[in-house]
């Protein structure tokens, strides 16, 4: 793959190469291209905002941020974000990364669908979410250089991204619908899965085993 895209250098490290190979082997082109765009868009936003990031940690965060949609990495039924975060953390620790680095990546992935909070946190955490938001819903796209955006999409094409990406979500969540409570993921199942009914905080309070 191209080493520099839109002025952003892809880190040349073993962890980066192995994270790329992992996603290519397990996820296929759609999520590989999406995840690389997340890294690139996140890097551009960080640069524009003067946010310092460790490119290697940001890249691993981007590569694993949606991995939990495809392959359960734990026996517990949990949010896909946590599955991906847990796996990324193990991936880094097994390769000798320090605990604090693995924790940064864990947080970046675990929080990437949480509105409002990641952007107020550390560089890699914020940049991962900025990249996700740009590629998924076009957030901040008007603040990026058009030529750089075109270069990124030329190297990592979107194809029929909107339709296919949402279908990946449906397939990854439909067998664990309870994990979508309180998250944006419930929006996907509510739209695509007949009979799905999202849980609510009101109902949980009303059904609590208390007399009053």
Give the pTM.
0.93
Is 92 within 8 Å of 48 (Cβ atoms)?
A: no
Q: What angle do CA 6, 45, 154 make, to 5 degrees?
A: 30
Is 24 within 8 Å of 32 (Cβ atoms)?
A: yes
Angle between helices 29-49 and 161-173 in degrees, nearest 10: 110
Q: How does DSSP classify residue 182?
A: T
Q: Would you write out the chain's pLDDT as a tens digit for each of its 212 residues? A: 559 999 999 999 999 999 999 999 998 899 999 999 999 999 999 999 999 999 999 999 999 999 999 877 777 789 999 999 999 999 999 999 999 999 999 999 999 999 999 999 999 999 999 999 999 999 999 999 999 999 999 999 999 999 999 999 999 999 899 999 999 999 999 999 999 988 888 788 788 786 78
Q: What tokens were used for 141?
A: 């796209």
Exposure on the CB side of residue 31, measured as CA atoms within 13 A:
25
**What is the end-to-end Cα distance of the chain in Å, rounded?**
61
Residues 169, 171, 174, 178, CA torsion sign = negative
Q: What tokens were used for 69?
A: 């949609």
């Amino acid at each position: 793959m191209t080493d520099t895209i839109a002025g952003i250098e892809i880190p040349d490290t073993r962890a980066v190469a192995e994270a790329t190979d992992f996603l290519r082997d397990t996820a296929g082109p759609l999520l590989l291209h999406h995840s690389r765009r997340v890294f690139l868009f996140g890097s551009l936003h960080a640069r524009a905002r003067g946010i310092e990031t460790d490119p290697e940690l940001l890249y691993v965060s981007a590569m694993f941020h949606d991995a939990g949609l495809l392959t359960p990495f734990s026996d517990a039924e949990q949010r896909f974000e946590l599955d991906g975060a847990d796996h990324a953390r193990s991936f880094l620790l097994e390769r000798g990364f320090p605990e604090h680095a693995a924790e940064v990546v864990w947080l970046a992935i675990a929080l990437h669908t949480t509105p409002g909070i990641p952007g107020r946190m550390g560089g890699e955490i914020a940049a991962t979410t900025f990249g996700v938001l740009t590629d998924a819903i076009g957030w901040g796209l008007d603040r990026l250089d058009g030529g750089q955006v075109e270069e990124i999409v030329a190297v990592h094409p979107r194809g029929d991204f909107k339709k296919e990406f949402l279908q990946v979500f449906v397939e990854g969540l439909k067998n664990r619908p309870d994990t979508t409570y309180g998250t944006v993921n419930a929006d996907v199942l509510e739209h695509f899965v007949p009979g799905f009914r999202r849980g609510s905080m009101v109902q949980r309070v009303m059904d609590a085993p208390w007399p009053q």
